Amino acid sequence: MSERFYLYDQTSDTKTRFISFMGEEQRHDFALLYSDQYYGKTVVLDIQRNRFAIIGHDDLNEPGYIEYAFQVDEAVAEEMTDFLREVI
């Protein structure tokens, strides 16, 4: 067996926030992981859909990004974007 080649292996302190709310379209359950690992961006885990994305303010302004990252329709993505702008 060959030796494993690590690109990086580090430990980082994180702050995790769990949020659940009922939107106009549906219920949302998120875990938000804040750390310095991704240049100030937040790891957003969508627990309902079993998907995640690394999101910053710039990503929220990118048309179609939330729809693509979480595989949701435009109405749900708009609801998610409004929420994420408040917490990221």
Task: Look at the pTM and tell me if it is higher than 0.85.
Answer: yes
Residue 25 pLDDT: 84
Residue 21 pLDDT: 94
Parts of the chain with a pLDDT under 70? none
Residue 2 pLDDT: 83
Strand order in the sheet with 42-46: 15-22, 27-34, 42-46, 51-55
User: What CA–CA distances, in Å, run from 27 to 41, 46, 76?
Assistant: 24, 11, 10
